[in-house]
Structure 1
Amino acid sequence: MRRLLFAFALIPMLFASMAFAGDAEIKAAQTVIDSQLKAFLADDGATAYSFAAPNVKRIFPTVDTFMNMVTHGYAPVRRPQSYSFGKVEQTGPASIIQQVLIVGPDGKDYEAVYTLEQQPDGSFKITGCSLRASTSVST
């Protein structure tokens, strides 16, 4: 009986630590996105590229090819006037989907949806980003 009571006493602590771990992972993922966006704004392609996951680097094997793709296909991400984090979902212990609300260089609203995966070294890297114009921005 004592063991059963002890087990029930531990359940809230386990859930609290799981929530904290999720919060820490989400914050780490947001830091990666924020750092990449700041690198784009600073014209620091090498740093921006460093946040790309191996799957992205296989498709774009050099900083130049990566930056060319971002410049021509993701102008609002490349040169945001402003951005803020929206909805986030932890889809697994090592996977996060993060909405970023962007005001592009043209002054229009965009929604970027980033996918990130935790790497073997514990860091998060960006595995993809989809971008669409937004007529109504919600968080």
Structure 2
Amino acid sequence: MLIRTIAACALVLAMPAAADQDAKPAIAAAIDSQIEAFLADDLDAAFGYASQSIREIFGSPERFGEMVREGYPMVWRPAEWQFLELRDINGNLYQKVLITDHAGRLHILEYAMRPTDQGWRIRGVQILRPPEAGA
């Protein structure tokens, strides 16, 4: 009986991690699509990957694009990007992304993600400390 209880607890604890990994491709696709939209100067498409709350704050694709251009230039025009770990914090998913800008500088950003009926949407982006040199 004790072994079954322990096995059941282990299964329950493992479930969120499995769900996170199931979401990872769709989350990466949403972030990829938004970055590609910025690169193509398609502000309407980029704005569409923002959560409803972000769209309400900025009101228009143009205002949203201006904020990204000025506040997140590495996202506006990255040289390359790659996905790092996906974290679950109290049921909220956060995707870390390593971005290299055109000057070769590395930036780590953390995207807060929200599931919607239309797919995953970005509800915020935080710039984290840059990686150590030589790391």
Q: TM-score range by the shorter chain?
A: 0.7 to 0.9
Q: How many residues align?
A: 133
**Unmatched segments (≥5 aa) in structure 1:** none
CA distance in 2, matches of 1:61, 1:80: 25
2:59 to 54, 58, 61: 61
Q: In structure 2, do the counterparts of structure 1 residues 106 and 67 end up closer, same or farther at CA, with 3 Å as the change threshold? A: same
1:133 deviates by 5.9
1:104 to 95, 101, 106: 101
Q: In structure 2, do the counterparts of structure 1 residues 137 and 23 end up closer, same or farther at CA, with 3 Å as the change threshold? A: farther
CA distance in 2, matches of 1:96, 1:138: 29
1:127 to 111, 117, 123: 123
1:138 deviates by 10
CA distance in 1, matches of 2:80, 2:107: 11
CA distance in 1, matches of 2:22, 2:32: 15
Partners of 2:20 and 2:86 within 8 A in 1 = no
Please show how residues 1-139 of structure 1 align to structure 2 within 5 Å: 11=8, 19-93=17-91, 95-119=92-116, 121=117, 123-132=119-128, 134-136=130-132
Q: Secondary structure at the match of 1:35?
A: helix
Q: In structure 2, do the counterparts of structure 1 residues 74 and 19 end up closer, same or farther at CA, with 3 Å as the change threshold? A: closer
CA distance in 1, matches of 2:58, 2:133: 30
**Rg larger in structure:** 1
Percent of residue pairs bearing the same amino acid type: 27
**Unmatched segments (≥5 aa) in structure 2:** none
* 1:24 maps to amino acid: D
TM-score norm. by structure 1 comes to 0.79
* 1:96 maps to amino acid: L
Please tell me the root mean square deviation across aligned C-alpha atoms, in Å. 2.8
TM-score norm. by structure 2 comes to 0.81
1:26 deviates by 2.0
CA offsets 1:4-39 (integer angstroms, 9 cap, x no match) = 8xx87x958877776543322122111111111111
Moved over 6 A (4+): 12-17
